[in-house]
Structures are given as structure tokens and as C-alpha cells.
């Protein structure tokens, strides 16, 4: 005889096991406030034990919301974008939302808008734009859900657009000021690809710091974020005896630059000081350990999603544009120039 099919566990079952009301279960599952951490964990533990899953389709029909956040992310394994994406996913799940990602491809015409349209078709309550690049067109986003961009996009506009993230301009300025403060007459720069807004921001900060100090601006070299491109730039810079300080737009390129300098017999930091950016896990274990600008991707994700969820819950509000500070981590790849 076939056993009767068991019904899936419901919120009433979770409430009974956790010893709380069904309303409390609903509050926890919806990520609402006014629930203590102890009660929240008890409800979530009961849900895990029972294998409870929310019926998101029914919830969307009842409340007009999907409890899902969509992310348009550049499809890349680069440390910065991938770290931010991982931090976003972790944080989204912690606050009780579902998470949907649509990857864009560098060079794809209209890729960001295609990703936004795809997310809206799937049903999301908010959209995150992560690590955008310049597609050569104005981005007027008319979505009826709030849109959060991690970093400025040229031409980004829309009634529900918010912008946050670490300040690349501030990071470039801080790195350059550190090297100038050690006594270097000027600072060379190995930039990221010019289509990336993050690369442009870091280069702008470099220029601003040089101008403020009255230091000459050397020709800028451009890489593609890879160690190989940093190595190629390093070979050029190593051949110039006037080069004593270099700010590199990410740590991977800085690694390539360090190797080129070493091969050319230009000791770091005795002859050339180097600052990178990102503070990748290996940066502290290079020879010498790399001075760099640290981005706190967990804090960036948490802050951005707090803004986004607040706007989802409260409805339209004023435009938001803010920056999070980045930290200069001084190690042994920088020193005053030799007399």
C-alpha cells in the first residue's frame, strides 16, 4: 500500500517547533526588525530542521513583492568584483532575501540594460549594479524598483537610483599622498583599463594628489588588471632611472611590476617604492610585503544592501550618493627615496 504523500512543512509547523507565534515566523522570514537575535536564530533553526521553504510565488502575489534582490555583475574572476559579489550573496541571504545574478560581458553592447531587463522579468524587489564599465551610452534606468550602483557610472540616472561604495578617487589620492609624503618628487601610475570607472577614479585621485602637491604628472601607463600587464609596465618603468615611486591600480598588476623591477636590478623599496590596491590575501606575503589600499568588501556589501532594503521597505525617497573610506595598509614596499 502506498503511503500518503506528506505535505511540506508550513510556517505553523515552524512556529510550533520554535515556540513562537506564526506572526513572529513571518517577521523573521521577511527580514523585518523588532525580533531579537535569540528568537530569530530559534526560528531559523526550526525552519532548517523541518526543511521549511517560503512559497515566494504566493508571497509575491499576496504582497506584490518577491523578496528577491537581483545583481547585474561583470562576469569576471578578478579579485575585487568577485569578492564583492561573494560578500553581496552572503549578506543578502543573512537578511532573508533570495539572490539572483545576471552576468554581463565586457564589451557587450547594452549589457547592463539587458541585465536589468532580465532581472525585472524574473521578478526582483531591488537591483544592484556591481563593478560597471563604460558602455559608451547614457544609462537612464526607469525601473519601478530601487537600483543601487557600487560606484559611479557616467550618465547613470533614474528616479530610484542610489550610488555607494568605496571612493576610488580617495584611494588614488591616499596612495599618492603616502608616496609623496615619504619624500618622492613625483609618483608614476599604472592604471587599469580606461573603460572601467574604477580605473578612472583611481587615476583621477592620483592626478589630484600630484596637482595639490605641485608635483609633475608623469605619463600614465595602462594595464588590464593582470600580473602580465603589470610586468610589461614594470619593464618600461624599470628602464627609467627617474622612477622612484609607483602607484599601481590593483595588487595583481603590482605583483607583475615587482617582478619586472627585481629582474632589472631595481630594489624595492630601496630604489623604487610601490603601492597597490585591494589588499589581496597574498599581498602581505610578497617579498617585500606590499603596501596597498584595503577595500572592506563585507562592509561595502552590508552598507549598500542596508540602503537598498530600506528603500524597498519605505518606498521612493531622495537620491543617495555616498562613499565608504578605504584603509592604507603600510608594509615594506614603500620607503623614503635614497639621497
- Report the 3 state secondary structure along the chain: CCCCCCCCCCHHHHHHHHCCCHHHHHHHHCCCCCCCHHHHHHHHHHHHHHCCCCCHHHHHHHHCCCCEEEEEEECCCCHHHHHHHHHHHHHHHHCCCEEEEEEECCCCCCHHHHHHHHHHHHCCCEEEEECCECCCCCCECCCCCCEEEECCCCCCECCCEEEECECHHHHHHHHHHHHHHCCCCCCEEEECCCCEHHHHHHHHHHHHHHHHHCCCCCCCEECCCCHHHHHHHHHHHHCCCCCCEEEECCHHHHHHHHHHHHHCCCCCCCCCEEEEEECCHHHHHCCCCCEEEECCHHHHHHHHHHHHHHHHHHCCCCCEECCECCEEECCCCCCCCCC
CB neighbour class for 281 (10 Å; exposed up to 12, middle 13-18, buried from 19): exposed
- CA-only gyration radius of the chain, Å: 24
Average pLDDT over the chain reads 85
> For position 24, what pLDDT does the model report?
86
Task: Indicate if the pLDDT at residue 215 is higher than 50.
Answer: yes
With b meaning 16 or more CB within 10 Å and e meaning fewer, what string describes 286-295? Answer: bebebbbbbb
Residues 157, 141: contact at Cβ < 8 Å?
yes
**Angle in degrees, CA 75, 198, 171, rounded to 5:** 135
> For position 254, what pLDDT does the model report?
98
Q: Return the closest-CA partner of residue 189 out of 274, 127, 315.
A: 274
Task: Indicate if the pLDDT at residue 5 is higher than 60.
Answer: no
Distance CA 159, CA 146 (A): 8
Q: Return the closest-CA partner of residue 185 out of 103, 244, 114.
A: 244
Task: Indicate if the pLDDT at residue 79 is higher than 80.
Answer: yes
User: How large is the angle between the packed helices 168-181 and 197-213, nearest 10 degrees?
Assistant: 40
Residue 161 CB contacts under 8 Å (≥ 6 apart), including other chains: 141, 146, 147, 148, 149, 319
> For position 47, what pLDDT does the model report?
85
In this prediction, residue 4 has a pLDDT band, given cuts at 50, 70 and 90, of very low
What are the residues facing 127 on neighbouring strands? Answer: 70, 147
In this prediction, residue 57 has a pLDDT band, given cuts at 50, 70 and 90, of very low
Average pLDDT over residues 274-299: 94
Residues 197, 151: contact at Cβ < 8 Å?
yes
Task: Indicate if the pLDDT at residue 61 is higher than 50.
Answer: no
Note the pLDDT tens digit of each residue in 85-116.
Answer: 899 898 888 888 888 988 877 656 677 778 88
In this prediction, residue 149 has a pLDDT band, given cuts at 50, 70 and 90, of confident
**Which carries the bigger pLDDT value, residue 223 or residue 84?**
223
> For position 246, what pLDDT does the model report?
98
Going 193 to 199 to 147 to 156, the CA torsion angle's sign is: negative
Residue 186 CB contacts under 8 Å (≥ 6 apart), including other chains: 180, 210, 215, 216, 217, 218, 245
Task: Indicate if the pLDDT at residue 152 is higher than 70.
Answer: no
> For position 107, what pLDDT does the model report?
56
**Which carries the bigger pLDDT value, residue 62 or residue 156?**
156
What percentage of residues in the chain have a pLDDT greater than 70?
A: 83
> For position 31, what pLDDT does the model report?
65
Average pLDDT over residues 238-252: 97
> For position 29, what pLDDT does the model report?
75
Distance CA 203, CA 184 (A): 18
Amino acid at each position: 500500500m502506498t503511503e500518503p504523500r506528506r505535505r511540506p512543512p508550513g510556517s505553523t509547523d515552524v512556529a510550533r517547533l520554535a515556540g513562537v507565534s506564526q506572526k513572529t515566523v513571518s517577521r523573521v522570514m521577511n527580514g523585518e526588525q523588532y525580533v531579537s537575535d535569540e528568537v530569530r536564530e530559534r526560528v531559523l533553526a526550526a525552519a532548517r530542521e523541518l526543511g521549511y521553504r517560503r512559497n515566494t510565488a504566493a508571497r509575491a502575489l499576496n504582497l506584490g513583492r518577491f523578496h528577491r534582490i537581483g545583481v547585474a555583475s561583470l562576469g569576471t574572476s578578478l579579485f575585487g568584483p568577485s569578492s564583492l559579489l561573494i560578500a553581496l550573496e552572503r549578506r543578502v541571504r543573512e537578511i532573508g532575501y533570495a539572490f539572483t545574478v545576471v552576468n554581463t560581458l565586457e564589451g557587450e553592447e547594452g549589457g547592463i540594460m539587458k541585465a536589468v531587463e532580465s532581472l525585472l522579468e524574473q521578478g526582483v524587489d531591488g537591483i544592484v549594479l556591481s563593478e560597471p564599465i563604460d558602455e559608451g551610452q547614457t544609462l537612464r534606468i526607469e525601473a519601478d524598483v530601487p537600483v543601487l550602483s557600487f560606484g559611479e557610472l557616467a550618465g547613470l540616472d533614474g528616479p530610484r537610483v542610489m550610488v555607494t561604495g568605496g571612493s576610488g578617487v580617495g584611494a588614488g589620492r591616499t596612495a599618492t599622498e603616502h608616496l609623496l609624503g615619504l619624500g618622492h618628487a613625483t609618483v608614476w601610475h599604472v592604471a587599469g583599463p580606461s573603460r572601467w570607472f574604477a580605473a578612472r577614479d583611481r587615476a583621477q585621485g592620483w592626478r589630484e594628489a600630484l596637482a595639490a602637491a605641485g608635483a609633475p604628472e608623469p605619463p600614465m601607463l595602462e594595464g588590464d588588471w593582470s600580473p602580465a600587464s603589470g610586468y610589461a609596465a614594470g619593464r618600461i618603468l624599470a628602464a627609467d632611472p627617474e622612477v622612484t615611486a609607483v602607484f599601481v591600480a590593483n595588487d595583481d598588476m603590482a605583483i607583475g611590476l615587482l617582478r619586472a623591477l627585481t629582474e632589472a636590478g631595481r630594489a624595492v623599496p630601496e630604489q623604487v617604492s610601490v603601492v597597490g590596491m585591494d589588499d589581496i590575501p597574498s599581498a602581505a606575503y610578497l617579498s617585500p610585503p606590499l603596501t596597498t589600499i584595503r577595500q572592506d568588501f563585507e562592509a561595502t556589501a552590508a552598507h549598500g544592501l542596508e540602503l537598498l532594503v530600506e528603500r524597498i521597505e519605505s518606498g521612493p525617497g531622495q537620491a543617495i550618493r555616498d562613499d565608504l573610506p578605504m584603509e592604507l595598509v603600510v608594509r615594506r614596499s614603500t620607503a623614503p627615496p635614497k639621497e
